[in-house]
Amino acid sequence: MAMAIPPLTLRRELLGAGWTSAEVQRLRQSGVLNPVRRGSYVRPLDPQPDTPEAQHLLLIRATLPHLAPGWVLSHASAAVVLGLPVWGQDLGRVHVTRDGSGGGRLTRGVHRHVSPLDEDQTTVVDGLRVTSPARTVTDVARTVSFEQAVVVADAALATLPLDPAALLAAQARSGLWRGAPQALRAIRFADGGARSPGESRSRVAMHRAGLPRPVLQYEIFSDAGGFVGCVDFAWPNLRTVGEFDGRIKYGRLLEPGRDPGDAVFAEKVREDAIRACDWRMTRWIWPDIDCFDPVATRLRQCFARTGC
């Protein structure tokens, strides 16, 4: 895990080292210790987590010492540990699961799930026991929106040693659990060709708009056979490509010594080359995904120009 997590100080460790409850309270009141959750603290001078995922990982580390043995990180918490994007999900509670039946319990900082959990559905990442990638995706997809589930499932197929068959098998093991049908829908829709949450959300937006399913990461070549570029979305029969412009994309284009302006210019040259090969292009950014109708209209206009 690449996230920088500050070291934790546990209240029980301070008491065991001879500090009194009053002294620990004074450390909190003076700002020497900042609580992450009850009984777990960080020192404000240490580097602090600067992303929601890193903050959640810190919450995980602060919570686990206070749980009884047998609990396994699951759902969004397992997704964070596995490095999967959790766009739009609530990270205010740590999700854990143990083998059994009878539902679970929701408290202020922990969501305890109780369901059948076999040993082969768990793994260890950075010293943390979590549900396996396939089980994690299935659990997430059962409990969040279709769009949020697709973001996680796409990323799992793209970045983890996981294939669609393994996801379908994991979903089948969930039987008649609550949310199993919606999980199956998201897993069937998942595509490892999506390279970011923005691209996954774009796929969902296209689906809802009734657009044809695109080919992902499509390579375009000139008539002479030279490589022109790889695009996010393509409809080859309709000579149309779509590009989601997330800010991070330009960061990926940067080489040592180049600034963002260089990357933007290079992308403009690439777009001109694609258009010169008789492809029509439509671009969109994050805010466009929430209101996708104008983008869908532009894409349909591009489709219509083919005469097909």
Q: Looking at the domain assignment, is residue 171 inside a domain?
A: yes
* pLDDT at 175 (0 to 100): 84
Same domain, 204 and 299: yes
Mean pLDDT by 10 residues, the chain (308 residues): 77 93 93 92 89 96 94 98 97 96 86 96 97 98 98 98 95 91 97 97 98 98 94 97 76 54 73 93 97 98 82
94 and 132 fall within a common domain = yes
Q: How buried is residue 284: exposed, middle or buried, by Cβ count under 10 Å (0-12/13-18/19+)?
A: buried
Residues 160 and 207 reside in one and the same domain? no
Domain finish residue from 189, 223, 248: 189
**Against a cut of 0.75, is the pTM above it?**
yes
Report if residue 77 sits inside a domain. yes
Looking at 128, 155, 189, the residue that finishes a domain is 189
76 and 174 belong to one structural domain: yes
What's the chain's length in residues? Answer: 308
CATH of residue 206's domain is 3.40.960.10
Are 202 and 254 in a shared domain?
yes
Residue 22 lies in a domain: no
pLDDT value at residue 263: 65
pLDDT at 250: 44
Domain count, the chain: 2
> Does 35 reside within a domain?
no
> 125 — phi, psi (to 5°)?
-130, 120
Q: How far apart are CA 128 and CA 56, in angstroms?
A: 14
In a domain, 48, yes or no: no
Domain end marker among 158, 189, 220: 189
Q: In what order do the strands lie in the sheet with 72-73?
A: 103-106, 110-114, 94-98, 72-73, 128-131, 122-125
The predicted pLDDT at position 104 comes to 84
Q: What is the pLDDT of residue 156?
A: 98
Residues 6+ apart with CB under 8 A from 123: 129, 130, 131, 132, 133
Range(s) of the domain holding residue 245: 197-304
